[in-house]
Amino acid sequence: MKVLLIYPEFPDTFWSFKHALQFIRKRASLPPLGLLTVAAMLPGDWEKRLVDMNVCKLTERDLEWADMAFVSAMAVQRDSVHPVIARCKTAGLKVVAGGPLFVVEHEEFKDVDHFILNEAELTLPPFLADLEQGCAKRVYTASGFADIHRTPAPLWKLADLKRYATMAIQFSRGCPYNCDFCNVTVLLGHKPRLKSAGQIVRELDGLYQLGWRNSVFFVDDNLIGNKKVLKESLLPALIEWRKDKVGMTFHTEASINLADDEELMHLMVEAGFNMVFIGIETPSEESLAECGKKHNKNRDLVADVKRIQRSGLQVQGGFIVGFDSDTPSIFQRQIDFIQKSGIVTAMVGMLQAPFGTQLYQRLAREGRLLGVFSGDNVDGMTNIIPKMGLDVLHKGYRSLLEYLYSPKNYYARVKTFLREYKLPKISVPFDFEYLLAFFRSILHLGIVGRERLHYWKLFFWTLFHRPRLFPMAITFAILGHHYRQVCDLHIR
């Protein structure tokens, strides 16, 4: 059996980093971790070929080679999935589909032959058994959750690692919290399920042996969902593993209560972590209570962020406007919080209701749904009718993003962060592409770009005041270029 593993193209989004990746001549931020893991679950004698359409084209030669196509996608890839399936069917291929998009919307894809829904560890084996017997069903689902101790390492050899900026790895699935707008617990449950530290070390060994020396994203929705195991097992194993390794820094997602645990932050930095994404959502206590984000309440969130930054972890933040409790003052409150906290990468989206969430169910009962969840957090779209009114929300959101990502305010936020940040002692190998990216930044941002005045101010301020952070300052300048391009695309 010859199988094409196809990952459809992403649109130009906040997290695609498309405009920043051009500076380091990479094609995509991350490889398709789910498809590479599924590939490792397929029979060993099957021939497998990965086509990540974010780094290469799906060619007629690929389609002629294959007997079957496996397609995986998230909601944000919805528009690119349909033509992929159509091309596969025209070529006479059986199409097998899985991933978050199809779990929720599989009835919308009439041309798919087989759906492997929920977690592949549970639904792929019965499909393969039925396929071998010639009696494969159209839909395979599971009500429980997989034991990920049995999950194989991703089949990294299928991916062209040189085309990616970062690798992806997963330690846990599930989140202990219950935010009403989030579909993580709907898909993966409340109780975090963990791999062993040995599994993670073996997966990292596989990447290292293939020559990977750059950043690795732990894609867990909340890495610190089980602090005890993290402290006693994973982090000590990572610290030991990195003793004779060069490179490989880590970043991940966590909840704000990370700020309460000095020991945990210290261990994460020692283990090689240098960045965390945190869902802060809003400075409004009323809105936090409304959406069930109780663990963010009754805190000095700015102080929490700065404590994490001073530990050596850059904080990326997720923010939302459009809660029922929000008034038009929320837009300025978000601006004030983000600028004061020095969260450079601030992803601000309008509230959306993914299918199956508590928010979706409540708004459906109230007749306040407008359509499907776009899956893009910063596209200026929402599928709800907000209490403040759509016009007010759209106008406020547009002004919020214009302020945050204007060169003046963005570069001011970078300086606020650089003043607070404690650079961890992490050995990073020299990469010629990053040196070239520096010279490209001078040309495109310092000479041609509309932010050139602010670029040079940051350039010399960092050299004189925080010289060890100079590479980070240039990275932020490049990322700011990307964020402005995305904002211009969606809000103007």
Token digits of residue 440: 């490209």
Residue 313, SS3? coil
The mean pLDDT value for 259-271 works out to 97
- Classify residue 266: in a domain, yes or no: yes
Residues 6+ apart with CB under 8 A from 312: 265, 269, 274, 421, 422, 423, 424
pLDDT reported for residue 247: 83
User: 231 and 322 share a domain?
Assistant: yes
User: 31 and 116 share a domain?
Assistant: yes
- Classify residue 19: in a domain, yes or no: yes
- Classify residue 156: in a domain, yes or no: no
- Classify residue 146: in a domain, yes or no: no
User: 176 and 132 share a domain?
Assistant: no
pLDDT reported for residue 490: 76
Backbone angles phi, psi at 357, to 5 degrees: -75, 165
pLDDT at 425 over 80: no
Say how many domains are in the chain.
3
User: 314 and 383 share a domain?
Assistant: yes
pLDDT reported for residue 423: 87
User: 20 and 107 share a domain?
Assistant: yes
Q: Give the residues across from 369 on adjacent strands.
A: 384
- Classify residue 160: in a domain, yes or no: no
- What b/e readout covers 130-157, taking b as 16+ CB neighbours within 10 angstroms? ebeeeebeeebeeeebbebeebebbbbe
What CATH number does residue 416 fall under? 3.20.20.70
pLDDT band, very low/low/confident/very high, at 427 (cuts 50, 70, 90): low
pLDDT band, very low/low/confident/very high, at 492 (cuts 50, 70, 90): low
The mean pLDDT value for 82-93 works out to 98
Q: Kind and range of the H or E element at 285? A: helix 285-290
User: 112 and 183 share a domain?
Assistant: no
User: 259 and 283 share a domain?
Assistant: yes
- Pick the more confident residue, 433 or 171: 171
pLDDT at 444 over 90: yes
Q: Name the domain boundary from 387, 420, 453.
A: 420
User: 179 and 315 share a domain?
Assistant: yes
Rounded to 10 deg, the angle between the 452-465 and 407-420 helix axes is 10
Q: Name the domain boundary from 369, 387, 420.
A: 420
User: 340 and 470 share a domain?
Assistant: no
pLDDT reported for residue 385: 97
pTM for this one?
A: 0.96
pLDDT at 421 over 80: yes
Q: Name the domain boundary from 122, 140, 158.
A: 140
Provide the mean pLDDT of the chain.
Answer: 96
The mean pLDDT value for 343-370 works out to 96
Angle at 486 between CA 319 and CA 397, to 5 degrees: 45
- Classify residue 159: in a domain, yes or no: no
Q: Percentage of residues in the chain with pLDDT exceeding 70?
A: 99
User: pLDDT by residue (tens digit) across 193-251?
Assistant: 999 999 999 999 999 999 999 999 999 999 999 999 999 999 999 999 999 888 899 99
User: 386 and 334 share a domain?
Assistant: yes
11 lies in which domain range? Answer: 2-140
The mean pLDDT value for 58-67 works out to 98
The mean pLDDT value for 365-371 works out to 95
Residue 398 neighbours by CB distance under 10 Å: 16
User: 436 and 403 share a domain?
Assistant: no
pLDDT reported for residue 371: 87
pLDDT at 330 over 80: yes
What CATH number does residue 134 fall under? 3.40.50.280
- Classify residue 426: in a domain, yes or no: no
User: 115 and 171 share a domain?
Assistant: no
Token digits of residue 274: 């240098």
- Classify residue 122: in a domain, yes or no: yes
